[in-house]
Structure 1
Amino acid sequence: LTIILYIILHLIQNRIGHSLSEGETKYLSGRKLSVQKWLVKNNIPCSLSEVPNIAILGSGGGQRAMVGMLGSLSQMGEQGLLDAALYMSGVSGSTWCMASLYEKANWSSDKEQIKVVVERLGHGSVSLMERFAQLNKYFQTNDNFSLTDVWAALVMPEIVMKIDESTLSNYQTCHDKDPYPIFTVTNQDCKYECLLQTFFELTPHEAGYTLAGAFVETSNFGSIFNKGFLTKRKPEMDMTYLQGLCGSALADKEVILEKFKEYVGGMPKYITHRITIANMLFVTINQYLLTFVVFRLGIHEAIWPFIVENILKFVEGWLKFWIWGTNYNYLYSVNAPHIDQRLLKREITHLEDAGLLVNSPYMSALRAEREIDLIISFDFSEGDPMEVRTKHCNELGISFPAIDCTKSDNNSPKGFYVFKGVKEAPTVIHIPLFNVENCGSELDAYIQKYTTFQGAYSPEMIEDLMKKAGENVLNHKEHLMEEIKAIVQQKSGTMPSSCLIA
């Protein structure tokens, strides 16, 4: 029996290649039929080959992104637009929304599921005892226990108001009427070494490197592989852990450090002359200690740098344990010349919140094999993400529309942008959450009211934020329909040549 099990295990292997998985391809075949019916119903007749591949994307932004995505999708459903989408992809806070909706089979055709999630967010709770029980479960079962387990067990249930022990592979057969879901993260180990191996996606059928083309069945992600073959099966991560992994905004020391450098720019040189992770964590404490020690205890200021130096040494030693997103590397010792050899030599690897690099799951939609024609991107982030997306696409040689935004667009964004693609590039619809159309003179007030890092929203805040997000869809329903129709005409060759982008 042992020999038989050993042989069966070794028949399971990872997949090196760029094609879509068989499961995703089959799923999309059924979904395209639904999209075609929707197009005909909306007076946009087309053959099956002319059905546009439309992807809905949700950016990160903590609970603001989760609630904003809920509001956007709710209004998409109300306006009968959800049935046009082939894919749905999220990063960070938007994945929390996705996971909550996909708990129910075929949620996009059931308006009640969004109401259920909203009610849970506003009035639900998960006890501390339940969260610690989940943490203990992770500790007992996860060989690669890390701070992501702690974050997932203790923090995520406080945000999404549920412990979800289902798995992503469960979605394979129960969502045939929903857009195909893609959850995105990044590989922390490759992030500063090789951009091609950085972007990582998890779907109901496969998990793997979006652009590099190296995948494993989702049900086997987290198991032990050697030279491409499964050697020891491990339990698949549950959805609570996956949400923690996707939303692990504290995982990357380098990114947080960069943000911290901006923050401490004006502080005294004796605090900032050594910009380390320890500075980042203790600079505020240092300020208060300095005031207390120098002015209250009368210790000479010249001694303070010595005190700080020793505190920092202690903290830097402790920070060696700042480890997140640890997983077995299914590419360990694989023979794959096109993949960076540094990745292949690691027995374990570390995944993190993709929003720390690019706060939108664009790379999942730009995967060539998905042939996306139109991207509807809901942006719940802070800052100017479009510039970053364009930069990475240029580095990787990926076709992306030219972004025509002025400085005033950054300070006072409109509610709807269309960037036309050329050649293989898709058309991109960019929808900022807060803009001059839905917020008017209160734009700055809304930006300050709903920040990325803040406590749980009250029911009133949830209702208000969902309304604002929904207005972006309601205000531009006709524009959305026009762009969908234009894509169909372009694919069928019926669009007037004057309308095509050279």
Structure 2
Amino acid sequence: MPDRFMQTNLHRKTGVRRRNRGRPHNATDKAEVPHLCWLTVKIIRMRNVRKADLLSQTDCYVKLWLPTASFQEARTRTVCNCKNPVWNEAFHFTIQSAVKNILELTVCDEDTFTPNDQLLTVCFDVAKIQPGEKVHLNFELNPENQEELEVEFLLENIRDVSENIITNGVLVSRDVSHLEVQVDAIKMTSLFTRRDFTFAVKGSYEGRQDVSLGPCCNRRGSNTALFHYIKHSQANLEIMLPKESFFCGHSSDKRERGISRPLAVPLNSLDLRERVTVARGESYDVHVREEDGYKNLDLRLGFGLCAEEEDFICKRKKVVAAALKEVLQLDEDLQENEVPVVAVTTAAGGVRSMTAMFGSLLALQELGVLDCVSYISGLSATTWTMAKLYEDANWSQKDLKGPVDDIRRHVIKSKLRCFSLGHLKYYEKEICERKQEGHKVSFTDLWGLFIDSMLHNEENTHKLSDQQLALNQGQNPLPVYLSLNVKDDFSTLDFKEWVEFTPYEVGFLKYGAFVRSEDFGSEFFVGRLMKKIPESQICFLEGTWSNIFSQSFMDAVYLSGHSEDFWHRWTRGTESDIEEQPALPKRSHEQTTYLSVPKGCLSNTLRELMTGRPVVSNYHNFLKGLQLHDEYLEHDSFCMWKDTVLDSAPNQLNQMDDYLKLVDTAFFINTSCPPILRPERKVDVILHLNYSGGSQTLPLDLFSEYCSEQGIPFPRTELSEDDREHLKECYVFEDNSEAPILLYFPLVCDTFQKYKAPNVERSPSEMEQGRVDVSSCAAPYGTGLLTYTEENFNKLLNLCNYNILNNKHLILQALRTAVERKQFKSCSLLQSSRLC
């Protein structure tokens, strides 16, 4: 069965940063059939409610929010000036058992002249309640003051109603309904009268639609509003009617309409299989009718590789096998299952990293190793190198000295021409066109156009999907670009999600959700493509991947190596687990009930200042409308990348956000390794090319620690103090057969000072060419520098070229070890099959 329909879950992860293995899912267990349920929540009373101010008791009410069932907040009435308010009010929700339903109960103090105060929020996992049960619970909010919230729950199965869902065990796509709202004129009051209607369905893709009748409103379809929403959610159609007498379709009361609250029609109270009249005025009727929406998904839910990448790997293995036979001087051809997967990963560093990467790839090509590589991953400015190379569909089969000469001309020339009047007009035109196409523009788009002008002499219309031509015969390694998705008011350390870009797909490692690269930036809802927006030129993606303007103050604190504990006192909310009485039986995938108390105004202001990012790239969120599976926290693939403070708070994750907020990965960990470590890619050898400034070991230390905490197979990268003080050109880290072999290349000027080529010493006149300062503050290769002298460009290029060539023996030994591992594993599997 394809993994897009899987509902099995393998491991559970508890906590935020630590991973615990659970028992594997038993293949003989029967998967629970998803069904719809009717949840009744009765808010009974509170005891000893805390004061919001010193002058009086709290004017208390309770808000209920269950976004998986309804985007409408419900609330009790307000009980004024009372320490022990009593409500006894019941609320009803239709829920899907397959999704994670977290009910938020927020206790508020109503104020007359100022915004209402939120005192606390209780987050309760509805999975604790079994169908057919009525449960009376007391939530202990403050045991010392005996503050309690008393609530009653009743959960009942809804019979004879089913819903088709598609899930990968982490995300769930539900049925979508298509609602058509039509306004018909039944008589004309005046030829010059215009009547304006506003319709809204909260939680729908469209949100709000306006319809007008009268002069200049005769366009076909202008009297119709369309909405797409989750079929079994409790959606309301809110209608704002023009002034005149009207009555509701399900009421005989006739009223005179003025400026008032909108008319709300609960859609689940109507039989929408037929056309239904929901409002009628003296001169118009309002009808609604519902149809099933899109059946098939336009995104891929699954953690496996897409079919195009699997096909590429099959083709690439033939190229790799031939290359390995030559460089390792093997006597026999390698079988497909004996061919190791080799990846090149990089670190960021502005023009320094772009230039250095050209030098490293040139050396790998000279060694014959470039054809042994199946993946190249990049971040920040190394994506400039990759994007430049992949404009040529056969770049790795040609001499790279040509592209190097071209990039040299661009790096050494003045960048002032990028600010000429002609260029500025071009930038303005491109950004206006991008906005008209439907993209959300930002300063990073201007930055992307500037990068494009730095690296090209003329307009470049290349797109990410165009790079598929460079892969159709397996002739080049597959490029993988990396970015981070972040949230407002959270530091990157607290919230970030890995997003990978390939010529085939763009997607989240954590959620197993991918869209075609040509569809990235378009508008999606519940996994369906709603509005196709033209694919971005790759220069705009380069501006996103290398967004040097996205660093927050908290990011700088983290990267500087200082403790963030003090700052987290101000930037993290106050949350604690609480008990409910009586204690309910534990279920394997339920979440603990927790209490959240909001910070004060001063803390919130400081949090905004410390976590605010000057500029982020906004793209339409293709996860919008998808919901989290009830057992998502137990899914092994989710656990692998689960490392944010919101992972156990599904209502606050990204499925409801309109936009993704993408930033430069280097402001968290300066490495492009994460997508290469996806288990499905089965990478055996990693050549990690480090081009960062400052500490050459910090990115390795940070990522090694990250992998250890996440349980990601990665070799131990321990270095002695002597090695840290006197770095070599290459380090080999090898643990066991589960973790890939890692070759780490720091950006150092070790033996290069005395040797211009391996085993070729410099003459006295050539010693100056070996003095390359890549570490001091005064070095001519600072991350912010965009222009180099030709001499400095050549020095850096030659240094990185030499560091690869001088370690040929280590590279070939790692490749040989990887081949031997694959052959041993293949032999072991063959013997096992014979025994069976």
Q: Which residue of 2 aligns with 1:154?
A: 450
Q: Which residue of 2 aligns with 1:484?
A: 815
Q: Which residue of 1 aligns with 2:487?
A: 189
1:414 and 2:745 aligned: no
Distance in 1, Cα, partners of 2:348 & 2:558: 17
Q: Which residue of 1 aligns with 2:477?
A: 179
Alignment partner of 1:245 out of 541, 544, 551: 544
Q: Which residue of 2 aligns with 1:96?
A: 384
Q: Which residue of 2 aligns with 1:282?
A: none
Alignment partner of 2:433 out of 135, 140, 143: 140
CA contact (8 A) 2:491 2:554 kept: no
Q: Which residue of 2 aligns with 1:122?
A: 412
Q: Mapping of 1:204-353 within 5 angstroms?
A: 204-255=503-554, 257-258=556-557, 322-337=614-629, 338=632, 340=647, 341=650, 342-353=653-664
Counterpart residue identity of residue 446, structure 1: V
Instruction: Report the CA distance between 1:437 and its aligned residue.
Output: 2.7
Distance in 1, Cα, partners of 2:494 & 2:321: 36
The structure-2 alpha-carbon separation of the partners of 1:405 and 1:261, relative to structure 1 and needing over 3 Å to count, comes to: closer
CA contact (8 A) 1:255 1:356 kept: no
Instruction: Report the CA distance between 1:194 and its aligned residue.
Output: 8.8
Deviations 1:376-405 (CA, angstroms, capped at 9, x unpaired): 011001322111101211222101101121
Counterpart residue identity of residue 114, structure 1: V
Instruction: Report the CA distance between 1:163 and its aligned residue.
Output: 4.8
CA contact (8 A) 1:38 1:83 kept: yes
CA contact (8 A) 2:376 2:480 kept: yes
CA contact (8 A) 1:434 1:443 kept: no
1:41 and 2:312 aligned: no
Distance in 2, Cα, partners of 1:457 & 1:10: 55
Instruction: Report the CA distance between 1:229 and its aligned residue.
Output: 0.5
CA contact (8 A) 1:59 1:381 kept: yes
Distance in 1, Cα, partners of 2:719 & 2:560: 28
Distance in 2, Cα, partners of 1:113 & 1:468: 18
- Structure with larger Rg: 2
1:454 and 2:809 aligned: no
Q: Which residue of 1 aligns with 2:824?
A: 493
CA contact (8 A) 2:493 2:558 kept: no
Q: Secondary structure at the match of 2:743?
A: strand
Distance in 2, Cα, partners of 1:445 & 1:40: 38
The structure-2 alpha-carbon separation of the partners of 1:87 and 1:155, relative to structure 1 and needing over 3 Å to count, comes to: closer
Higher helix proportion, which one?
Answer: 1
1:87 and 2:400 aligned: no
Distance in 2, Cα, partners of 1:349 & 1:192: 15
Q: Which moved more, 1:227-236 or 1:127-136?
A: 127-136
Distance in 2, Cα, partners of 1:160 & 1:7: 49
Q: Which residue of 2 aligns with 1:292?
A: none
Counterpart residue identity of residue 371, structure 2: D
CA contact (8 A) 2:484 2:662 kept: yes
Q: Secondary structure at the match of 2:774?
A: helix
The structure-2 alpha-carbon separation of the partners of 1:485 and 1:131, relative to structure 1 and needing over 3 Å to count, comes to: farther
Alignment partner of 1:21 out of 302, 306, 311: 306
Q: Larger relative CO (CA 8 A, sep 6+): 1 or 2?
A: 1
* Percent identical: 25
Alignment partner of 1:113 out of 403, 407, 410: 403
1:164 and 2:164 aligned: no
Alignment partner of 2:674 out of 340, 363, 373: 363
The structure-2 alpha-carbon separation of the partners of 1:62 and 1:7, relative to structure 1 and needing over 3 Å to count, comes to: farther
Higher strand proportion, which one?
Answer: 2
Q: Which residue of 2 aligns with 1:432?
A: 746
Deviations 1:15-56 (CA, angstroms, capped at 9, x unpaired): 121100111111111111100111222323421111010001
Distance in 2, Cα, partners of 1:104 & 1:193: 35
Counterpart residue identity of residue 325, structure 2: V
The structure-2 alpha-carbon separation of the partners of 1:9 and 1:155, relative to structure 1 and needing over 3 Å to count, comes to: farther
Counterpart residue identity of residue 184, structure 1: L
Counterpart residue identity of residue 334, structure 1: L
CA contact (8 A) 1:60 1:360 kept: yes
Instruction: Report the CA distance between 1:8 and its aligned residue.
Output: 12
Instruction: Report the CA distance between 1:177 and its aligned residue.
Output: 0.8
1:54 and 2:368 aligned: no
1:404 and 2:697 aligned: no
Distance in 1, Cα, partners of 2:617 & 2:538: 14
Instruction: Report the CA distance between 1:455 and its aligned residue.
Output: 3.4
Deviations 1:132-166 (CA, angstroms, capped at 9, x unpaired): 41343123323311121122123553367665321
**Structure 2 residues without counterparts, runs of 5 or longer:** 1-220, 227-290, 563-569, 572-604, 633-637, 639-646, 755-766, 827-836
Q: Which moved more, 1:235-244 or 1:431-440?
A: 431-440
The structure-2 alpha-carbon separation of the partners of 1:437 and 1:10, relative to structure 1 and needing over 3 Å to count, comes to: farther
Distance in 2, Cα, partners of 1:457 & 1:148: 23
TM-score by length of 1: 0.80
Task: Name the Cα RMSD after superposition.
Answer: 3.3
Q: Secondary structure at the match of 1:177?
A: coil
Distance in 2, Cα, partners of 1:470 & 1:9: 53
Distance in 2, Cα, partners of 1:259 & 1:432: 21
Q: Which residue of 2 aligns with 1:31?
A: 316
Q: Secondary structure at the match of 1:445?
A: coil
Instruction: Report the CA distance between 1:211 and its aligned residue.
Output: 3.8
Q: Which moved more, 1:248-257 or 1:60-69?
A: 248-257
**Structure 1 residues without counterparts, runs of 5 or longer:** 264-274, 277-312, 496-502
Deviations 1:48-100 (CA, angstroms, capped at 9, x unpaired): 11101000112101111000000000111122110010111111121111111
Q: Secondary structure at the match of 1:251?
A: coil
Deviations 1:247-271 (CA, angstroms, capped at 9, x unpaired): 11221324455279899xxxxxxxx
Counterpart residue identity of residue 189, structure 1: K
TM-score by length of 2: 0.49
CA contact (8 A) 2:338 2:822 kept: yes
How many pairs were matched up? 444
Instruction: Report the CA distance between 1:195 and its aligned residue.
Output: 7.6
Instruction: Report the CA distance between 1:321 and its aligned residue.
Output: 8.8
The structure-2 alpha-carbon separation of the partners of 1:420 and 1:130, relative to structure 1 and needing over 3 Å to count, comes to: same
Instruction: Report the CA distance between 1:464 and its aligned residue.
Output: 1.1
